[in-house]
Chains A and B, each alone.
Chain A
Amino acid sequence: MQSENGNHKKEKILAAVEAAIERYGARREELIPILSDINRVLGYLPPEALDEVSKRLKEPHSQVMSVASFYQMLSTKPRGKHVVQFCESAPCHVVGGREVWEALQEHLQLGAGETSPDGQWTLITVSCLGLCSVGPVIVVDEDVYGNVTPERVPEILARYH
């Protein structure tokens, strides 16, 4: 059973790599789009995926890893089923963002960049989304919420179960 699961996981990873390379071509200049696509499909970049990309692009593993670890949107650590992004930028900060951030941390019992033990939630901060006229802003998975207050936090998160 264990190895069957392992095989299934490996197949899924290889399929994601294959699809991304198919879409952009096995060229170095496409490395960031390729990694972004894989990250989107798998939720993060597992070591097996980075190995495969390195092989297919004929780029040293160190080069692939250097890019994967540089950009905020690429994660080399597994992420939760739902990713909560909090905009930590100044315009949100001055209109009550700090209180929202505390409410998020308390409600999820997570700090910045942490994933809950049950794999449900990951809490991360994100740089300005340019939605400053409706701050404070949080993004859950792909849904954007504006004018968030600490009181609204539990209600918003309850939609993702």
Chain B
Amino acid sequence: MKYYRSHVLVCVDPECLGRGAHEIEDALQDELVAQGLIDEVQVLETSRIGACSDGPELMVYPEGVHYVGLSVDDIPYLVEEHFLKGRVVQKFLYTKPKFVDEELSAPTPKEVRVVLRNCGKIDPQNIEDYIAEDGYQALAKVLTEMTPEQVIEEIKRAGLRGRGGAGFPTGRKWELTRAAKGEPKYVICNADEGDPGAFMNRRVLEGDPHSVIEGMIIAAYAIGASQGYIYCRAEYPLAVSTLNIAIQQARNFGLLGKNILGTDFSFDLEVRQGAGAFVCGEETALIASIEGRRGEPRPRPPFPAQSGLWGKPTNINNVETYANVPQIILKGAEWFASMGTEKSKGTKTFALAGDLNHTGLIEVPFGITLREIVYDVGGGIRDGKAFKAIQTGGPMGGCLPADYLDLPVDYESLTAAGSIMGSGGMIVMDEDTCMVDIARFFMEFTQDESCGKCTPCRIGTRRILEILTRICEGKGQDGDIETLEYLCEQIRTNSLCGLGQGAPNPVASTLKHFRKEYEAHIYEKRCPAKVCRALIRYEILPEACTGCTVCARNCPVGAISGERRQVHVIDPDVCIRCGICMQVCNFNAVVIE
């Protein structure tokens, strides 16, 4: 048998053939003969190597060097350089396109990836990739070695709590649904991730859909359900299509459908899409939407565990909750419970946004402090500015000031501080943020998203928004703060669902922690952060102004006067505070007073 020191594999798939792969192969043979290397180097044909759009391509072993974009004229040079002189020809080297993940970068030392462990690492459209990462092993273990009661016990011992925000113990919920009377039972995955700034669930659905599906099948086995629904918001079209592909593949592999893994357990799944309604993230509204009705919440009790979808016992968990389940079964409750605090176990994903150096998705163990999240994981405040506030828990959450930076992140601590865990949005704000404006902004959202069924939420949020808008416009009155506090309390205690009960939170928390800013707006007609337009004044610094006339020429309302080479002046009565003069001034002479 003949031995070669090198093998050249030439791709001869139709695409490369069309670009002259055979000619390349012949030229290689001829050139190897010409340079006396034909006894040392063997040329073989192979199928697609992977970069055919840049073909013709070839692979040189044992080095594993991948060349693309060759023409016949390049071959003598290539053979001389690579095979005679032993130098890799950089010009033709195939370099994988660099992919920058703006959402999920490599974990920082304080992070632990459990839920996000596969995101960005496996092909979400290929079930075999998931199986190679121990996927569906937990399901096999559950179906062959554990009773439903043992599964529930394991989840209870792990201390897993609902990741949708409320933090209800998951094992307890499963137990209640299992014990409830009524058949059939349903499991639902709440993938209606509507909190602005929160996209952790989207990433899991798009990057690792099978972890959610596996968690749901295990839940279905534990509570005795045979049908499940994933309710996904329509704003996430890619998540919906990825889920549908994953479900079909799981069916083909016998992991969904009749007699899963050859046992007598049967379960199937369906994706239901929303049509744009924030309130559908509330579980009773979500159920109404799956039934084809307006997504309006109803009073609880009865809870869905007793009477849910079509009046039957229904278990609803969030995407992240389900994604934790297979890991708990595989690695054990002790492993899971070793992470976090006494009452909040495991990890939590957050979407970091706002004025940070590193925004995007993170996953950290419970108990980490806000300071660690902002400075160690988030890289600190952008442009060297000062930290002002962190908003946690989405639009029903609250804003916490710098005094709270050492607060440990867990369900109870955040609630005690006047905010909430929520589903995991975190917005960090720097010194240039006006807290009254932020409160108004969140009220605009909740007022708009209020479904209108109950009065405190429908009318109360509107009243709050009107008052806040007035304050931001410089028309705040004595007594506004007290009225806001009264409204907040009334809405919180009298609303039907979580949306209304949480809606006053952004106002209540900023009133508590940033009361001085409200007072400055109302009594001094001043916006300390210089954001609220009616309360700011643009002025030209006489010592910096060169009289270049640029500001006067760009002012859309002719509010600026002054002779060439003379100091210019802004007439505050005409000025509409658009800020154009400040943008166009080359001498930083325009300032906000």
Report which A residues bind B (CB closer than 8 A): 27-33, 35-36, 63, 66-67, 70-74, 88-91, 93-95, 126-135
Contact = CB atoms under 8 A, between A and B. Distances in A.
B498 interface: no
B275 A32 contact: yes
Contacts of A131: 199
B273 interface: yes
Contacts, number: 110
A91 B354 contact: yes
25 contacts: A29-B290, A32-B275, A32-B292, A33-B272, A33-B273, A35-B275, A63-B293, A66-B293, A67-B292, A67-B293, A70-B277, A70-B294, A71-B275, A72-B276, A90-B197, A93-B441, A94-B355, A95-B354, A127-B194, A127-B276, A128-B195, A128-B196, A128-B199, A130-B199, A130-B202
B350 to A, nearest CB: 12
Interface in B202-237: 202, 234-236
B510 to A, nearest CB: 13
A27 B292 CA distance: 9
B580 to A, nearest CB: 11
A75 B197 CA distance: 25
Contacts of A73: 234, 275-276
Given A90-B197, A127-B194, A128-B198, A36 B294 contact: no
B193 A130 contact: yes
Given A71-B277, A94-B427, A132 B291 contact: no
Interface centre among A66, A73, A127 (most CB of B within 10 A): A127
B450 to A, nearest CB: 12
A72 B279 CA distance: 11
B176 to A, nearest CB: 25
Interface of B: 102-103, 193-199, 202, 234-236, 272-278, 289-296, 351, 353-355, 359-360, 391, 395, 425, 427, 429, 433, 438, 441-442, 445, 449, 451
A36 B273 contact: yes
Contacts of A29: 290-292
Contacts of B395: 90
Contact of B442 (A90, A128, A133): A90
Nearest to A73: B276
B386 to A, nearest CB: 15
Nearest to A135: B353
Contacts of B354: 91, 94-95
A88 B486 CA distance: 28
